[in-house]
Every structure is written in structure tokens, then in C-alpha cells.
Structure 1
Amino acid sequence: MRIALVHDYLKEYGGAERVLLALHEIWPEAPIYTIFCQKGSSADKAFEKVRVIESWFGKLPFCDKLISLFRFLLPIIWKSFDFNPSAGGYDLVISSASWAITKGFALRQAQDKVKEICYCHTPPRYLYGYETSRNWKKHWYVRFYALIVNHFMRMYDYNQAQKVTYFIANSREVAGRIKKFYRRESVVINPPVDIPEKVKNQISNIKIKDYYLTGGRLEAAKNFDLIIKACNRLKLPLKIYGSGTQENYLKSISGPTIEFLGRVSDEKKFNLMAESKAFIVMAKDEDFGITPVEAMASGAPVIAYRGGGYQETVLEGKTGVFVEEATAESLMGVLRDWGDLGKKIRREDCRKQAEKFSKERFKKEIINFVEKNAGIT
């Protein structure tokens, strides 16, 4: 049986790309089809030994910056790939889908033979009213453009979803969105979160230091500004790792107790998590949320907004505490009481909770699902 993997695009090595790499480890002979792969990016380096097939759009200059503007070309881009077995194609297509409507490919005459399993990180957030990484709504002309284009893209997205044989959701939160927007059922298989053994040994007896930690892609939807404002007012030490479009703004509102670390290696990130008093996340409607699980794997308790995928990974009172409202004031209430709240959380319990999301578990569940539903071993 021939299998193809398909992914939105390869630009950053984030949670969705870790899922893709785990899928490729299961089927190492499977090529990866994608809109483009940004040369020199963290994703490009992660997949440098993998056969990656880009679309014609990926050959255009500045394709990574043009794709959002030319999203109406997505149907044409995806149709340029031929997965038809009669054309030397594939028996199973596994798509890793979120932003680019990466599903429901035109299988032409082979629709009764080719099966497609869509691992859905989320239906496109920009189509269904969820906050996105970029604050595009602040410009009236962009809102007008999106109003027209997104109307037709929603219809296209729905139609493509009906062509998928089976859906896998990365969380119960996303399974609910698949049901709501596509009227399709799905099976939940959480993404893999792993810490290398070398790092586990390094952080096993690490000393906790006097700072809170947050980080990742510094984008508007993650609400890092709320975390900064809360720590500013309480004069609490906060370290922030990562980079993004909001970095300069976040630095401009930060007080003397806030430290920006920039991009860090995975090893450094896990050490920062292990040393921190707690890891803070405040994004609303998070699809799954890998960073809190990474923090727990490092032994760090989590302070999280009560919403989205966080509610599926953080055990209240055992591995973390929830913030009731997405406001600096609500977070400040938890931080004021953290001296007492944090004492009730055992770091060993955090690590045990994170083990439920291991890569081995992910691979086993994916293989079992494919064998059961696609008849492929």
C-alpha cells in the first residue's frame, strides 16, 4: 500500500509539524506534499532528510508572505497534486490540516479506492471567528477583502470536509468544531509531546528558581500581553522565550521584572520550564496546547486560562490552576495566591500527567486507527 502525507506548509517547527514528523516516522517511505517549504526555516531543517514535494506556488518568490493574501488560490494549488492510483499515486492520503484547508483532495476517478484520513489540528480559525496569530481585523480594507473571500472559502472548506473518509481531531475541543462546522464525527488522538532522555536526566533534580515562565510564538492570539500586565503590576519576575510579530509591542509594555530570551533550543526550553515556579498560558480557545504539556513533562505546574484544550491536559489542583477570565486582573488573583496554591501541586504528578501524551502512545493510537479503518499495516 502506498501512503502520502500532506501538510499545510513548512515554515515553523511547531506542534503541527511535530505531529507530521511523528507520522513520517511511522511511514518513513511516505513523501510529504505541501504548499511550500521555506528554505532555512526551523521546519526546513527538521525535514531536511525527508522527501518534500512542494506545489507550484512554492516556487514563487516570497511565497510564504503571499499565501495569506492569495488564499483564494488554495483550491487550484491542491488540485495540482495527483494522488490517483492509476497515475502511479497512492492508496491512502493522510492530511495534517489547519490553516490551508488541507483536506478533501481531488481523487478523480479513484474516489472509491483512495481513502483519506484527515488529522485536523483545527478547522481554519480565520474562517470561523476564532482569534488568529495576526490581528488582520484592525484594517478596514483587510476586513472587506476577508468578508468576500472567506465567504467562498468557507463553502469550499465545508465541501472538502465532506470528501474526507475519516477525521481525527487533536482534542475534544477540535472534535466539537469538526462536528459544528463540518457536521462530521471524529476520533480524538492527542498530539505527541516528548522530552529527550538526555534532558530528562538533566532536569530530574533541578533547583526551582524565583521566576514564572511563558513563551512560544509571540502572537496576539496567545494573550502574552495579559501575562505581562499582571506581572508588571505585581512586580513578579517573568521570563519569556520565543519570537513573533508581537515581540516589539510586548517589549514596549514590559517593566523591569520582564525578561525576553528570544528563540531557545528545546533543551534550554525544558530547563527553563523545570526551573520555573510555574508556566503560564492565557490563550482563548486553544486548539490543544502543547506548551503546557511540555511544562508538566518538565515538572512545572501550569497556570492556564480555563478554556479550549487546556481543560483536557491540566488537572486542576493536581498539575495546575485555572484562571477564570482572560484578563490581567483574573490572573493577578491566582498569582497572589500562588504561594499557597503551588504548595499543593507535586512536580512528580505533573510529569506523570504529561506521560499520557507521549510519542509512543501517539504512534500506537494512529497505527491502530489506520489498521482498523484503512486496512493498511
Structure 2
Amino acid sequence: MDFLACLFRFPKDDPAQATRARHSLMSLVSSLTIIVFTLYCSYAGLFRLGLRELAWFILLAILVHAVFFAMICSGRNLRLADPSLTLPQMYVSILWMMFILYFIDHVRGAMLVLFMIIFVFGIFRLGLKQFIGVAIFALAAYAIVIALLIYFHPDSINPRIEMLQWVLLAMVLPWFAVIGAYISNIRHTLRQKNKDLEKALAKIEQLVSHDELTGTYSRRSFLDALRRELARAERENRPFCLALFDLDHFKSINDRYGHLAGDDVLRSFADCVQQEVRQVDYFARYGGEEFALLLADTEINAATDILERIRARVESQPFPHVEWNVTSSIGAAQYQPGETLNQLIGRADQALYAAKSEGRNRVKQAAGSIRQ
């Protein structure tokens, strides 16, 4: 039972597989429609097989469709070149139709209309060559059925009517194949455009959330993260710290070596800092030569140790184009309960200003808690 439950589990976690499973179920429902019509013909005395023999063939047809559905739900179809199994299901449905056309009497012309139901499923997947191949297979199979009927049951067939029906089917199926392939190509084009649109949206999201020059988070994205962390701190009473960085004498680098060199220094600085921060932290370019770092679940003393390590690494790091050691001033503030976002940023900014006033290349903690 567990095996069957696993085998027929609807693949909700995979949209593509879920779509294939739905198409397979639709194919089964279409076959059931044909089966109901066949049973009615048997009841009306228009089917040469007895009801018991017919029931075995019906059971076989249902089992075959169940196998297709089980392959999709179990993921075994993914090993095949065509994981949708569209062509095999269409060929099986055509063979089932040929079985019915051979044993049914007087209403074969009406049954031919049901070919359209089979070909509709090709719209989901098939190209023009595949559609034409299926049409040729159907016409050849129907020609064999006519030949077998003429040979074994000549009294149950009017060759001229059957040939007329075959010619009509030969005219309709290729044209239907062309239309089906055209619709399939439109669906494929739309699907590809949707993928391109998703990529474009992801690119736009990347540009909005990240700084193009340094690859760090943008100021807007950083402020959003800071608001979320502040709300979490108020809700769960967890500490976090905000640090503001300023590259010392960065204007001199731009004036002496040019702005392209300054851009290289900013990129190198960002890479240097990101090698020291944790995955839970949030590092961003705040503006110009200023950067910001959100240290989650960290108190001020631990944050100061981390920032001091970053400061020392930056000082010892060789930077492109620059002949002297590049240094940074850092101001840090721990969030205090009841503090607003602007107050937290203001205290960190004051600490940064103090670090620069006291000689630069140092880490400075902000003043203590705000009094309520």
C-alpha cells in the first residue's frame, strides 16, 4: 500500500511534473469517454465482441493509462527523452481506437470524430514533424483495419464508404496536425518569453537589491533588512549592532589616481570585508565611500572585536593603484529597546564621526542606551 501511495503521489512540488500528471489524467478521462461510447454500442448490439471479452480490453486500456500516470508521479519519466510521454500515450490511444473500429459495426464514421480528441493532446507538446508522424501512423493503422475487415468480415463493411472515410481522414488529420503544431509553437514561444521575463525580473531585482559596482547590498535593501531586524529585536528581545564604515582619505585616491582606480579600491574593500562577515550578517554600500554592516544576534563588545579584525585586515590589505595603506574608520552602535531606526543610525553615524575626529583608522562605539 505504501508503495502504491508513493507511486501515485501527485507531484505538487514540481510544477512541470504536476502539469504532465494532469495531462495524463485528461488522457485517461478521454479514453473513458470512448469506453462509455463503446459499452453503449455493445449494449445496442453494434459491437462484435461479447461484453465479458470487451471488459478485459477495457481493463487493459485503463491499466496502460495508469502506468503512464504512475511513471510521471514516481518521476521515472524524467529518465526519458520525452518526459511528458505525449507520443506514447497518443500511439496507445490510436491503437485502442483501431481495436474499436475493427469490432464495431455501422457507426465507424462517428468513431472517427474521436480522433480529434487524441490529436488535441499533441498541442501540449508536439512539433510539426511529430504531428505528421502520428497522422501517418493513424492513417496506416486505419488502412490496415479496413483491409482486415474486407478480408475477414466483408459483410460488415462497405469498401467504398470506408475508403471515402479514409480519404476524408487523410485530408483532415494533416491539416489538424499543421494547426496543432502552430498552436504548440505559440505555446512554446510564450513559455520561452515567460522564462525570459522571469530572468529579466530577477536581473531587475538584483540591480535593485545590490550595488552594481561592489556587488554588495544596496542602501535601500540594507534599510529594509535593518527594519526587519529591528522588528525582530523588539519581538524576540535579541541584540544586534549597526556599523558604518568610511574609507579614509578616499577623495585623495580619486584625485591622484582617478575615479576608475577609486572604483577598484571600493570593490577590493568590499571583497575584503565580506571575507570576514558571517552569512547571517548584512553588508551594503551605504553611499559613495561609505558602507554599512548589520551584525545579527551580536552585542556591542563582540561586534567591536569583529570590526577591529576587519579594520586590521583592511589596513594590511594591498589595494590596486594605491601606494599607501588604505584604512577605514568605523562607528558601531547596538540597538537599544524602544529606539527608532533613525536614532540607531544617528548614534552609529556619531560614532563614525568620532572615529574620524580622533585620527581615523579606528573603531568607535556609540554612546549608551537612550533614556526613555
Common fold, TM-score beyond 0.5?
no
Higher helix share: 2
Higher strand share: 1
TM-score by length of 1: 0.22
Larger radius of gyration, structure 1 or 2?
2
TM-score by length of 2: 0.22
